[in-house]
Amino acid sequence: MAKQTTTTPCTRTHQIGALALITITFFTTRLLNQPLSHSPVLGSDRFEGGLRWPERGYGGRLDVKVYVYEEDEIEGIKVLLYGRDGSVKADACLKGQWGTQVKIHRLLLKSRFRTHKKAEADLFFVPSYVKCVRMMGGLNDKEINQAYVKVLSQMPYFRLSGGRDHIFVFPSGAGAHLFKSWATYINRSIILTPEGDRTDKRDTSAFNTWKDIIIPGNVDDGMTNNGVRLVEPLPLSKRKYLANYLGRAQGKLGRLQLIDLAKQFPDKLESPELKFSGPEKLGKTDYFLHLRNAKFCLAPRGESSWTLRFYESFFVECVPVLLSDQAELPFQNVVDYSQISIKWPSSRIGTELLEYLESIPDKHIEEMIARGRKVRCLWVYAPDSEPCTAFTGILWELQRKTRTFHHSPETFWLHNGSIVNRDLVEFHKWRPPMPLP
């Protein structure tokens, strides 16, 4: 009897878990071509392949209100967007890994989930293009820090919640470290970043798995458009190489090992030394022509753990091989990455890796590519009118962060529900600029 009591609940749990996994995961091999009727999403919209956004970890209805601060609303926001003299153009910041700062801002401005009323907002978005602005000489690190502090001091709603309902985008490997004083001012805020490495070189991670959100990297629009793309995938039989690595060495061990391995096995692994200037520089089209010419696209870490090549590989339809042990990936509660990619230990880069990849039958490679084709819409920054986009996924993730009640060490409340500060001044009478901790 004791044995039955122990075994029966376990068996039922496994059965229920297996059924739930089949029902709510949208790329399981058995259900790739079947609609998930138990997973309502926006109206009757569906993903590529007739698949709905699953309920797992989200709920059945997307209903979140986001307030977007206007660039003229608060002194200092324009500096974060265009630099000290306003010379940096937003369109120049759309390219490369920094483009998500601009794209998410623009998508929110046009989103049906945007509200113009602060009082009804679930979340508040603080626009900034500082990574691009910094790289283009529009601001230095000290100026970025000063601009953020100045902006935050003028936001009563930031003070009200301690920043818990405010959203910031940091699109590069540096993450929130672009704002040197992030730990003092926005340690409670929601950070959108592709960089979730909690062992970064500063030994102080700005990423918190409880509140922050991993976002996909910014793949070139020429590859993500629904129409004619810059480069179309090649059939496996026409690909010249088993694998490739397209990137600079940057003095990083894993990258150096791949470049050396390519010299030993030039017929299996392509790893040209990329030039970022001069006549040998690869243009966008040439880059993707190289990338599509292998069955596997190798993605080692660089200055940080995340790598754009992981996302790019889905659009040339090679199987990404992640060689970055600490990398975090987006939308993990709905995407089973073991079905669409390979993660290999970075400590075992060598002939063993090539032998393993060579042993995988083309049939299995084709199956992984097909599953990846179904979910790559999640790496595309497009409007929320489309059911499957990176932006739609981010909105679902943000909805999970919303709360009915917000408070901070600087907010207090009385018996009638009124919110006051420590001087017992009601919230509607708070006047910026306000001191910050």
- Residue whose C-alpha is closest to residue 243's, from 359, 363, 357, 364: 357
Mean pLDDT throughout 373-387?
A: 92
User: Are 124 and 52 within one domain?
Assistant: no
Q: Looking at the structure, do residues 13 and 128 belong to the same domain, yes or no?
A: no
384 inside domain: no
410 burial type by CB count under 10 A (0-12 exposed, 13-18 middle, 19+ buried): middle
**CATH code assigned at 227:** 3.40.50.2000
List the structure tokens of 346.
């970075």
User: Is 104 in the same domain as 194?
Assistant: yes
Q: Does a structural domain hold residue 305? A: yes
Complete DSSP assignment for 16-77: HHHHHHHHH-TT-TTTTTS--TT--BSBT---TTS-PPP-TTT-S-----EEE--TTTSTTH
Residues 370 and 300 in one domain: yes
Query: pLDDT tens, 134-172?
Result: 999 999 999 999 999 999 999 999 999 999 999 999 998
- Between the CA of residue 291 and those of 46, 215, 294, what are the distances in Å? 30, 22, 7
Same domain, 225 and 341: yes
Residue 424 covered by a domain: yes
Nearest to 65 by CA among 432, 384, 436: 384
End-to-end CA distance of the chain: 61
User: Where a domain ends, among 44, 61, 78?
Assistant: 61
Quote the tokens at residue 413.
């409340």
Among residues 36, 61, 86, which one ends one of the domains? 61
For the stretch 222-232, pLDDT in tens is 999 877 899 99
393-408 tens-digit pLDDT: 999 999 989 988 888 8
Residue 21: domain span: 1-61
Angle at 349 between CA 347 and CA 354, to 5 degrees: 150
* Domain-embedded: residue 147: yes
Which backbone phi and psi does 67 adopt, to 5 degrees? -95, 130
Do 153 and 277 sit in the same domain of this protein? no
- Domain check: are 350 and 248 in the same one? yes
Same domain, 260 and 301: yes
Furthest C-alpha separation in the chain: 79
Instruction: Give the model's confidence band at 212: pLDDT under 50 very low, under 70 low, under 90 confident, else very high.
Output: very high
Pair 250, 180 in one domain? no
Tens-place pLDDT, residues 97-123: 789 999 999 999 999 999 999 999 999
Do both 364 and 407 map to the same domain?
no
Q: Supply the pLDDT for residue 202.
A: 57
How far apart (Å, rounded) are the C-alpha atoms in residues 136 and 93? 9
- DSSP type of residue 275: -
Q: Does a structural domain hold residue 17? A: yes
Q: Which residues of 233-268 are buried (b: 16+ CB within 10 A; e: fewer)?
A: bbeeeebebbbbbbbebeebebbebbbebbeeeeeb
Spell 354-381 as b/e; 16+ CB within 10 A means b. Answer: beebeeeeeeebebbbebbbbbbbbbbb
| Residue that finishes a domain, picked among 61, 85, 105 | 61
User: Which tens digits make up the pLDDT trace of 349-368?
Assistant: 999 999 999 999 999 999 99
The total domain count for the chain is 3
Residue 98 falls within a domain, yes or no? yes
The mean per-residue pLDDT over the stretch 23-43 comes to 34
Residues 225 and 372 both lie in one domain: yes
> For the stretch 181-207, what's the b/e string if a residue is b when 16 or more beta carbons lie within 10 angstroms of its beta carbon?
bbeebbbbbbbbbbbbbeebeeeebbb
**Would you call 164 helix, strand, or coil by DSSP?**
coil
Tell me the average pLDDT of the chain: 85
* pTM for this entry: 0.85
Answer whether residue 390 is part of any domain: no
142 token code pair: 């000290």
In a domain, 389, yes or no: no
Orientation angle between helical segments 253-264 and 351-358, nearest 10 degrees: 70
Taking the CA atoms of 221, 97, 369 and 23 in sequence, report the sign of the dihedral they define.
negative
Q: Are residues 1 and 127 in the same domain?
A: no
pLDDT band at 334 (very low <50, low <70, confident <90, very high): confident
